[in-house]
Amino acid sequence: MSMIEFHNVEKYYGDFHALHNINLTIDAGETVVLIGPSGSGKSTLIRTVNGLEQIRHGQLIVNGQDLANPKTDMNRIRKNVGMVFQHFNLYANKTILENVMLAPRIVLHRNEDENKKVAMEMLDRVGLADQAPKMPSQLSGGQQQRIAIARSLAMKPKCLLFDEPTSALDPEMIDDVLNVMKTIARDSSMTSLIVTHEMGFAREVANRVIFMADGRILEDDSKEKFFDGEPSNERARQFLSKILTH
Ligand SMILES: Nc1ncnc2c1ncn2[C@@H]1O[C@H](COP(=O)(O)OP(=O)(O)OP(=O)(O)O)[C@@H](O)[C@H]1O
């Protein structure tokens, strides 16, 4: 079953043509990594999936709903499609537990006992259950990002979008966040679409690797073909050799 379908999608920012003729189908349970040079449209592409950016032409179907249809209930999309950003933006004046419980309470009206149980389960999943009573400022950046992941997981989404979740972190914190993301990727009930520059991570967890440049998908391969074979596209090959030699 497909979770996300792009059909001939075009995206503009004013006159700037940011996405060109995107065709892409992602099945439920897949872990897809999106890579490419800066400014190639990776963030734009994943932000269209939960409606943070609107498309101009084409069709985008997420969890069976057509995003271009004005009747589509975007709240329903966002319940099923979570997002983890580069900057985690926890509520500074709320405890870690409250941060994780907030959206399910407001959006899903989950009852308090169940909400707390789920929140603690998710905090446990990211290895931070013991931090529940603390305030965000008492945690490191890497821990805060893991809380942001727990916060997304608490909504029990079908799909999680990750937009460079480790690129604002100090190097020593990156692995802890990637390890949490690896356990999510192994959960076949969740679809993950991940923008990252972490090639080791991509190589380990991705089912598929998509390479973008200039707003276009130039390569869409299994991870084996992309990393162990050779991408067919010349720019993808150049990008890969450059990034792997750094
Ligand atoms: N809100 C906006 N208004 C105008 N142009 C934008 C906007 N957001 C992005 N762009 C432009 O769209 C292009 C794609 O940007 P995008 O952030 O999607 O790229 P990216 O591949 O995610 O880059 P990076 O790896 O640097 O985050 C860039 O040229 C960028 O300048």
pLDDT digits 0-9 by tens, 40-96: 999 999 999 999 999 989 999 999 999 988 888 888 898 999 999 999 899 999 999
Distance 81 CA to ligand 1 centre (A): 21
Residue 107: what are its φ and ψ, rounded to 5°?
-85, -40
pLDDT of 88: 87
For the domain with range 2-244, which CATH number is right: 3.50.50.60, 3.40.1190.10, 3.40.50.2000, 3.40.50.300? 3.40.50.300
Tell whether ipTM is more than 0.95: yes
Q: Could you read off the pLDDT of 8-47 as tens digits, one per residue?
A: 999 999 999 999 999 999 999 999 999 999 999 999 999 9
What percent of the chain shows pLDDT beyond 90?
77
Does the Cβ of 48 fall within 6 Å of ligand 1? no
Distance 27 CA to ligand 1 centre (A): 26
The full set of domain ranges for the chain reads 2-244
Does the Cβ of 18 fall within 6 Å of ligand 1? yes
pLDDT above 80 for 149: yes
Distance 120 CA to ligand 1 centre (A): 36
